[in-house]
């Protein structure tokens, strides 16, 4: 299934972070639908290095790319010599997904270096190549602002959210200075779906709760989880947004959510329904101050300017995901 009339055949496409969750799904979208496209994945892949919070520095995993037939360039976006490896290519499209995607990394230096500095280099590469640049921003740019979250009213509350906010500011300025370029930022809300497993503790609650249930345990939720709502968006709709962002002359940043927030309790209940269990819920106190209680993407400009229309409901998305959740249950994550 394709999401636009743009023909990506005979185009050269860069996907930074292509060994990660969203990037690898994008890589397969092009491979499956445009067999004559040339897809280049650039990713540092995971090493054993962890942050102070115990999580890995990068989550790119070769298992996300099994059956991928394009080019893979292993490199770090923080390294100019690594980025220079991309000079062997002239890109038509660049999908910039590589980042420290872990919102709970508080080392500001490494977050800013990785997420922001590299963006200048990649924008310059896009300009030189005359490539369309679609990059991943985030709903974290909104911090705990009340719903609906609307582009242009941001208030990041952690280094990650700030880094994505700065990318948006850089993109606006770069767009103004280079009016011929197409530069689109996508503020993803809570994405879930296949190929997220290797994000471990930072993967969505859909797969984490699914695996708890498959362990025979009641899903663990914060007290009051029926009142904690998020805008969960399926990976298929995220791919749709990336593809529709390639239509020229829609520069700007856009929310990518469903605008239909659902509770964590809903996720647990849908999973139990699909898995045929009745384990109840294990409620635990919420340890976080200032925990975001409600997100809801205002997607009006995404709909109007990009023609984006989310189609996958939480029920449909989880049902389709169940075989993968089962397949991965208990498998080695290293």
Ligand X SMILES: NC(=O)c1ccc[n+]([C@@H]2O[C@H](COP(=O)([O-])OP(=O)(O)OC[C@H]3O[C@@H](n4cnc5c(N)ncnc54)[C@H](O)[C@@H]3O)[C@@H](O)[C@H]2O)c1
Residue 292 in contact with ligand X, rule: CB under 6 A: no
Question: Closest distance between ligand X and the C-beta of residue 164, in Å?
Answer: 7
Residue 97 in contact with ligand X, rule: CB under 6 A: yes
Query: Percent helix, strand, coil in the chain (nearest 5)?
Result: 40, 15, 45
Distance of CA 103 to the CA centre of its chain: 12
Q: Which of residues 189-248 bind ligand X (CB under 6 A)?
A: 190-191, 199
Question: Closest distance between ligand X and the C-beta of residue 210, in Å?
Answer: 16
Give CA–CA dist 275/328, Å, rounded: 15
Q: CA nearest 42: which of 76, 78, 87, 11?
A: 76
- The smaller minimum CB distance to ligand X, of residues 59 and 174, is found at 59
Could you tell me if 149 and 139 are in contact, meaning their C-beta atoms sit under 8 angstroms apart? Answer: yes
Among 111, 136, 218, 318, binds ligand X (CB under 6 A): 136
Residue 99 in contact with ligand X, rule: CB under 6 A: yes
**Dihedral pair phi/psi, residue 111, rounded to 5°:** -65, -45
Among 188, 254, 308, 321, binds ligand X (CB under 6 A): 188
Give CA–CA dist 33/31, Å, rounded: 6
From 98-106, 150-158, 176-184, 313-321, span contacting ligand X (CB under 6 A) = 98-106
Residue 310 in contact with ligand X, rule: CB under 6 A: no
Residue 299 in contact with ligand X, rule: CB under 6 A: no
**Dihedral pair phi/psi, residue 168, rounded to 5°:** -60, -40
Phi-psi region of 111 (alpha: psi -120 to 50; beta: other; left: phi over 0): alpha
Q: Which of residues 47-76 bind ligand X (CB under 6 A)?
A: 58-60, 76
Binding site for ligand X (CB under 6 A): 17, 19-23, 43-45, 58-60, 76-78, 97-101, 114, 136, 138-139, 188, 190-191, 199
């Amino acid at each position: 299934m394709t999401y636009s009339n743009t023909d990506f055949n005979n185009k050269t496409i860069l996907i930074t972070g292509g060994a990660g969750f969203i990037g690898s799904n994008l890589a397969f979208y092009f491979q499956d639908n445009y067999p004559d496209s040339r897809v280049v994945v650039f990713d540092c892949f995971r090493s054993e290095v962890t942050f102070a919070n115990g999580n890995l520095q990068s989550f790119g995993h070769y298992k996300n790319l099994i059956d991928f037939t394009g080019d893979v360039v292993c490199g770090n976006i923080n390294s100019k010599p690594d980025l220079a490896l991309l000079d062997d290519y002239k890109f038509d499209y660049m999908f910039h997904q590589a980042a420290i995607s872990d919102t709970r990394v508080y080392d500001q230096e490494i977050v800013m270096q990785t997420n922001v500095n590299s963006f200048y280099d990649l924008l310059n590469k896009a300009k030189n190549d005359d490539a369309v640049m679609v990059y991943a921003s985030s709903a974290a740019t909104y911090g705990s602002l009340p719903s609906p979250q609307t582009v242009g009213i941001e208030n990041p509350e952690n280094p990650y959210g700030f880094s994505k906010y700065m990318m948006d500011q850089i993109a606006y300025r770069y767009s103004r200075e280079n009016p011929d370029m197409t530069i689109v930022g996508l503020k993803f809300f809570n994405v879930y779906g296949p190929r997220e497993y290797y994000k471990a503790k930072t993967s969505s609650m859909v797969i984490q709760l699914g695996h708890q249930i498959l362990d025979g345990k009641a899903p663990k939720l914060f007290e009051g989880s029926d009142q904690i709502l998020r805008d969960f968006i399926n990976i298929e709709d995220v791919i749709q947004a990336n593809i529709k962002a390639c239509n020229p002359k829609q520069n700007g940043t856009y929310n990518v959510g469903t605008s239909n927030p659902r509770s964590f309790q809903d996720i647990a209940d849908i999973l139990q329904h699909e898995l045929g269990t009745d384990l109840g819920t294990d409620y635990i106190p919420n340890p976080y101050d200032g925990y975001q209680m409600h997100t809801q993407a205002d997607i009006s400009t995404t709909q109007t300017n990009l023609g984006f229309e989310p189609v996958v409901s939480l029920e449909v998305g989880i049902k389709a995901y169940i075989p993968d959740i089962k397949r991965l249950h208990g498998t080695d994550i290293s």
